[in-house]
Structure 1
Amino acid sequence: MTTSSRSTSTTAATHDAPSRTELVARAAALRDRLWADAPQADRDRRLDEGTVAAIKDAGLFRLLTPRRFGGYETDARTLLDVVTELGRGCGSAAWVTGVLNAGNFVAALFPDEAREEVWGDSPDAGAALVLGPGAPARKVEGGALVTAKWPYSSGAWHCDWAVVVLPVQDGDAAPELFLALVPMRDTTVEDTWFITGLRGTGSNTIVVDGKTVPDHRLIPLAQALDSAIPPRHPEETLYRSSFSGMLLTSLLGAQLGEVRTGLELVLEKAPKRSINASNYTSQVQSVTFQTTVAEAATKIDTALFHAYRLTGDIDAHARRDEAPDVPTRVRVRTDSAYASRQCREAIDLLVSAHGTSAFAEFNPLQRIWRDVNVANRHAGFGAGIPEEMYGRVLLGEDPQAVSFLL
């Protein structure tokens, strides 16, 4: 690393980060552009490079990057609010922004040598985050020799690094799970993202073939999940935040933003839309329509309440430089799953209220419906696992018998 880049990162430690209000305003200023670009991103199955550049120029990939490297080192609530605002324009752009910020949060858990490699030359560097384990790597002197693939890598086209889960086998011992920090120059990206919703995320497959990840870019997964890695510097209490909580917060914003836009669209069109096979010349005259949109709006409010509670829990522990306990971590995951389900149920109600034309290809409601339904099926939210874990905690049982993501 050059002397100049180290000097830049040291100087950056003293800079003032923008306020939450300022960062949300920057996201709001991008909304019209994102809305205009979203249909093409959906067709292309990736974000336009100009769109990504606009988000980067607004500093919105720096939310969870350490201040000493020019980042903003904000908090979970700011992450949620910024990504939600972006989601009002484009769900895929919001999802990628959330994931790359979450990846940066995890990259900040690594030793300073690794962090210097990531951000020493640019505070805008972004790291994808993939929690599905790849094929086992072999322990070698000074690191681990890796040949593996990681599918569903959101933002793979637009990141500089990837944080992946890597089983590492040392001799005949059982593999141990690590988080590995891999530069994208050591990877190839396979175009495998052919999914109904969130198509613009380009969540393709990252491939590493015969590369060595050095020891300073490997940290034990269990320690990261338990928030048991002390902050690299005393003032960096953000990195005491719940690992899974930060990940799930990063994924909630896209859903919250899109479903709020969906509600606005349905309400805006209602006065000029009749109801077929009825005497109503306007949807607003129908009591059924009124109660349906009211229920949808209440579900959106409920999702926001739970999202704000979970980010409040995350941030309170971080401010105290305190690792969150297991019951808190489980409730955070359950809150996120419940909020996500409320978003899905709200958009289902809204497209039904709007009518069959909601599913016409020209209608943005169908894209929002597809995006939110796919997002809600993310492993962090779906399959009833968060609720089962919460039930176990309430009954005095071990939630980690169900899932490691806690």
Structure 2
Amino acid sequence: MTTSSQAPQTMPAPHEHTAPDTPSHAELVARAAALRDRLWEEAPRADRDRRLDERTVDAIRDAGLFRLLTPRRSGGYETDSRTLLDVVTELGRGCGSAAWVTGVLNAGNFVAALFPDEAREEVWGKNPDAGVALVLGPGAPAHRVEGGALVTAKWPYSSGSLHCDWAVLTLPVRDGDAEPVPYLALVPMRDTTVEDTWFITGLRGTGSNTIVVDGKTVPDHRLIPLASALDGTLPPRHPEETLYRCSFSGVLLTSLLGAQLGEVRAALELVLEKAPKRSINASNYTSQVQSVTFQTTVAEAATKIDTALFHAYRLTGDIDAHARRGEMPDVPTRTRVRTDSAYASRQCREAVDLLVTAHGTSAFAEFNPLQRIWRDVNVAGRHAGFGAGIPEEMYGRVLLGEDPRAVSFLL
């Protein structure tokens, strides 16, 4: 795929805060960019097969791109949310499904790092490249037993379930007759089965199937309260690991934005590349480039992409600045982060709509990558973290002095 010089440019990279043995932000983004052409070629197969090819996953793993948010003491890079965003965006310029899975597994690794050292050792002790899926939709309630919780439940929409080693699952735990309390449960994939349930229009290659746990006990050291994880009130495992004091929901939403940003940038590049050789039917224009309407449409799409990037970079800047200080962002900041992510996602969706309209009806031909990108971005933008107007409602409550957590726990 050719990259147009007219496509929007990314903003300057953030300040580097890496140890000598940790790849820099620029190096990690370059590794992702080096995979882009390969991913572009393999994306149609992932879409058709409803899963990523194992060689694709191996290439991402071999580039170290599952280690972005894994603790350094566990062999990871322990970078930041801006690096996560930029790496996943580069992958998204090649394949949205590969980018989405990479983002989710890195977010899962971030959450796994919130667990005690005993659990961390189980996850990464023998494999620093281990990936952890993350599902925030709750399963059926578990029952407290001696030393843990007995679990029989299902979790649909488990992105990366075909390629992860562990999963963090949201689990209501009932102790006796008391009301269930939501926990995060860290479960090895060997204790699960995966039901093939992902028959969705877009992001088909993510293999976001259903994880099933049937009669397994999750030990206490692999259970943490969901509310404490979201609010940053878990006891700090290692004070120097300031990354894990930052916004849980912010990292999750960042991990999901990159695929959309990458794909919509690829769509703009493709439309601009093809325009000189495409006429406009039922007009006197022998090239789309000659049309003022085409010019203004691609300009509007490019501006929406830039706007999405501005908001994405503002939210990662907020997250990372607090993390470097070892502080959890306050409720208004976390609410604005969620709204920024939703607004950026909507700009991507609106931009890709403009681009397929500008390109013409052939954008929806099965051979045309634009129709796959259009499907992917439209499905991604309806993720619960971005959709249904909930982020905007939460931000409005903050602006009016009300508690946004009355609307949603994801903050």
| TM-score w.r.t. length of structure 1 | 0.96
Partner of 2:45: 40
1:320 corresponds to: 325
Query: How far did residue 70 of structure 1 move?
Result: 0.5
**Structure 1 residues without counterparts, runs of 5 or longer:** 1-12
Q: 2:229 pairs with 224, 231, 235, which one?
A: 224
Alignment of structure 1 residues 253-332 onto 2, 5 Å: 253-332=258-337
Unaligned runs of 5+ in 2: 1-17
Same amino acid, percent of matched pairs:
89
Q: Any residues of structure 2 matched to 1:6-405 within 5 Å, and which? A: 16-405=21-410
Count of aligned residue pairs for this structure pair: 394
- 1:14–1:68 contact (8 Å) kept in structure 2: no
Per-residue deviation, residues 221-247 of structure 1 (Å, max 9, x unmatched):
000000112431111000011000000
Distance in 2 of aligned mates of 1:297 and 1:209: 48
Change (3 A) 1:244 1:154: same
Letter in 2 for 1:73: E
Q: Secondary structure at the match of 1:30?
A: helix
Q: Which amino acid aligns with 1:114?
A: A
Q: Which residue does 2:11 correspond to in 1?
A: none
Please state whether the residue corresponding to 2:289 is helix, strand or coil: helix
Point out the more displaced range, 34-43 or 227-236.
Answer: 227-236
SS of the equivalent of 1:164 reads: strand
Name the SS for the 1:288 alignment partner: helix
Amino acid corresponding to residue 269 of structure 2 in structure 1: E
Separation in structure 2 between the aligned mates of residue 188 and residue 231 of structure 1, nearest angstrom: 33
Question: In structure 2, the residue corresponding to 1:300 is in which secondary structure?
Answer: helix
TM-score relative to the length of structure 2: 0.95
Q: Distance in 2 between matches of 1:348 and 1:84?
A: 19
Structure 1 distance, partners of 2:329, 2:228, is 13
- SS of the equivalent of 1:209 reads strand
Deviation at 1:15? Answer: 6.8
CA shift at 1:359, angstroms?
0.1
Q: Which moved further from structure 2: 225-234 or 342-351? A: 225-234
